[in-house]
Structures are given as C-alpha cells and as structure tokens.
C-alpha cells in the first residue's frame, strides 16, 4: 500500500505499510552569513504509535533540478513514538552556535558516481533542493523509486511557490493527523531537536510552532471559506503553476472567501508576526 502526502511544494511517498520514520525538518542555512547555527541539519521523526527502526538506511541529496548524487548512511537507529533524530550536515564556515548534541554527525559523504568527496556533511543549497530517506544505498531516481521511505522537495525552484529558507529558518513538518493524505511543511524558526528532548509528537504545539497554526481548515468545501489561526498579513493564493490567483482585499485578514476559485489545489501565503508562512489547501 502506498500513501501519498502532499505539502507546500513537498511530496512524500510512504512506500511501506509500517513506515513510521519521516523527514520532520530541514535546515539549509547553517554557517551562511548572518546565521546563528554553524551547520545544516535534518531531523527525522517517528510519527507512528510504536517503536520503529532504520537499518542500513541512507539520506540522499540532490539540487532541485538535478539527480541524487551525494549520500551518507545512517546508523541502525530505533526511535520511540514521537522521538526525533538530529543529523548534523555540512557547515559553511559562519555561525556561532553548535547544534545541540546531534544524534549523528555525517562525516563521510559518498558520491554515487564514484568520485571522491571530502565534505563533512551534505552541502544543501539554502534556496532549494531535494532530500530523500531511503532504506538502502541504491541511488534514488525519483519519488516513486522502490527504496524511498520519505521524499521532500523544498525551495523556490519548484512549481508551487514556497519560501526559500533564510539563515535562521527551517522547513518544519506539521500534521494533526499523519494518516491524512494532506500534510504540510511550514517555514519557521530553526529549532534543532535531538532524541534526548523527549517524545514530542508531531501534533504537539510549542512556542516555535504555535504561530504557524496558519490555516485551520485545509480542505475547503461548501462554505468556500478558509479560516486562519491568527491574524495574517499580505495573504496571497497561488495556483499549481505558481500564478497569483487571489489576494486578500485588506492588509490583514483572519480568513478568506474562495468562492471565485475553481476546484483544485492551491498554496496560500502570508506573514504572521513578521515571519512568512505558507500552506497548501484543497478546494473540493
């Protein structure tokens, strides 16, 4: 059975019925000019109800429009329900703060083409890229490859407009119900969580997530209304081709009427407390 999860510019294919470990957060601004953190990171999380293990799994990276070439293996990890796993990736020489006790430091990066690679960690582009969690070291071709456990595409190079990660923000996955076919990633303050920070379920809301309770109802039906969890500024609605199809008639809004839009998938963007947010919705 294959489950398909769609986020803002992210598509995740869960291939295995019992797959529970997913890509929870991506931070690609580490060590860049103006960043606080020295290193990029990826957080995995067990979103299932039981313990889950990964043995001989890999994290693979590709530019937004290129092939997967860089990868590193993961240790044989077992995560409790809700537990995170912090992976330290490449550093760019800047920043002042080390990641808090990463669970794994990716010191050995390999190339599928056999070329030597002396990088310490995956060198992820801040603007856009692709990350995949695979169950072996076979090169992933696309999101439908047999060995894909979770697949995420981020950044401005994709057909759905999403915010490019800034030096101190990360793409965070939030989902009230991971069994739904629609989930989302939002742009929020980078907050690296390792496995020792408790079993924080993905639906839990802390100070870094609370202001990103953006759209209350991501499925829009008969009433044609979407409601925001807070007052949002500069609301725009994009279609699947990246075109702006609607704007809020006022500078701030607590909701929006979509009666003029045909059925389909859209991305809604805006600003909450001076931080950009975005979320995908479906109008039925």
- Residue 84 above 70 pLDDT? yes
For the chain, domains (ranges, CATH) are 3-210 (2.60.40.1260), 219-283 (2.60.40.3080)
In the chain, how long is the greatest CA-to-CA distance? 57
H/E element, 150: strand 148-155
Residue 202 vs residues 22, 25, 44, 90, 209: alpha-carbon distances, Å = 11, 11, 11, 25, 10
pLDDT at 17: 33
Mean pLDDT score, 112-131: 88
Give the model's confidence band at 118: pLDDT under 50 very low, under 70 low, under 90 confident, else very high: confident
User: Which of the listed ranges 147-161, 170-184, 215-229 does the model predict with the highest average pLDDT?
Assistant: 215-229
Residue 154 sits at the vertex; the CA angle it makes with 268 and 230, to the nearest 5 degrees, is: 30
pLDDT of 10 reads 33
What number is the average pLDDT over the span 156-174? 62
Q: What percent of the chain is predicted at pLDDT more than 90? A: 27
Q: What is the mean pLDDT of residues 226-252?
A: 85
Are 122 and 132 in contact by the 8 Å Cβ rule? The answer is no
Q: Are strands 39-46 and 77-79 parallel, antiparallel or unpaired?
A: unpaired
Which of 84-88, 105-109, 226-230, 240-244 bottoms out in mean pLDDT, i.e. has the lowest?
240-244
Closest CA to 262 of 236, 234, 237, 235: 237
Cα–Cα dist 17/154, whole Å = 25
- The dihedrals phi and psi of 219, each to the nearest 5 degrees, come to -100, 120
Higher pLDDT, 177 or 68: 68
What are 78's strand-pairing partners?
53
Q: Is 210 exposed, middle or buried (0-12, 13-18, 19+ CB in 10 A)?
A: exposed
With beta carbons less than 8 A apart as the criterion, state whether 146 and 13 touch.
no
From the DSSP assignment, how many helices (H) and strands (E) are in the chain? Answer: 1, 21
pLDDT of 132 higher than 50? yes
- Average pLDDT value for residue range 60-89: 91
* Between 86 and 274, the higher pLDDT residue: 86
pLDDT value for 125: 87
And the tokens for 198?
A: 């408790």
**Residue 70: what pLDDT?**
95
The residue among 206 and 90 whose pLDDT is bigger is 90
| pTM passes above 0.85 | no
Number of CB atoms found within 10 A of residue 21's CB? 24
Q: pLDDT higher for 19 or 182? A: 19
- In contact, 76 and 68? CB cutoff 8 Å: no
How much is the mean pLDDT over the chain?
78
pLDDT of residue 193: 87
What is the mean pLDDT of the segment spanning 227-238?
86
Mean pLDDT for the stretch of residues 16-24: 66
Using DSSP's 3-state secondary structure scheme, residue 209 falls into helix
Per-residue pLDDT at 159: 41
**Res 96: pLDDT:** 83
């Amino acid at each position: 059975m294959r489950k398909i999860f769609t986020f803002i510019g992210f598509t995740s294919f869960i291939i295995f019925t019992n797959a529970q470990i997913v890509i929870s957060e991506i931070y690609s601004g580490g060590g860049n000019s103006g960043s606080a953190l020295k290193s990029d990171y990826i957080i995995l999380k067990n979103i299932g109800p039981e313990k889950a293990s990964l043995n001989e799994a890999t994290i693979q990276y590709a530019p937004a429009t290129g092939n997967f070439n860089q990868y590193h293996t993961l240790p044989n990890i077992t995560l409790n329900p809700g537990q995170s796993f912090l992976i330290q990736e490449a550093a760019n020489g800047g920043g002042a703060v080390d990641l808090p006790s990463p669970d794994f430091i990716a010191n050995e990066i390999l190339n599928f083409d056999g070329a030597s690679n002396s990088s310490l960690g995956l060198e992820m582009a801040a603007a856009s890229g692709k990350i995949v969690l695979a169950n072996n070291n076979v090169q992933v071709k696309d999101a439908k490859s047999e060995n894909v456990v979770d697949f995420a595409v981020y950044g401005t190079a994709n057909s759905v407009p999403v915010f490019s990660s800034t030096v101190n923000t990360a793409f965070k996955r939030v989902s009230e119900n991971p069994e739904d076919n629609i989930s989302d990633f939002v742009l929020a303050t980078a907050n690296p969580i390792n496995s020792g920070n408790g079993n924080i379920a993905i639906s839990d809301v802390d100070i870094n997530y609370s202001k990103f309770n953006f759209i209350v109802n991501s499925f829009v039906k008969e009433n044609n209304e979407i409601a925001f969890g807070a007052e949002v500024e500069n609301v725009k609605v994009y279609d699947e081709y990246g075109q702006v199809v609607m704007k809020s008639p006022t500078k701030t809004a607590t909701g929006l009427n979509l009666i003029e839009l045909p059925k389909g998938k859209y991305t809604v963007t805006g600003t909450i407390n001076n931080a950009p947010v975005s979320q995908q919705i479906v109008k039925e």
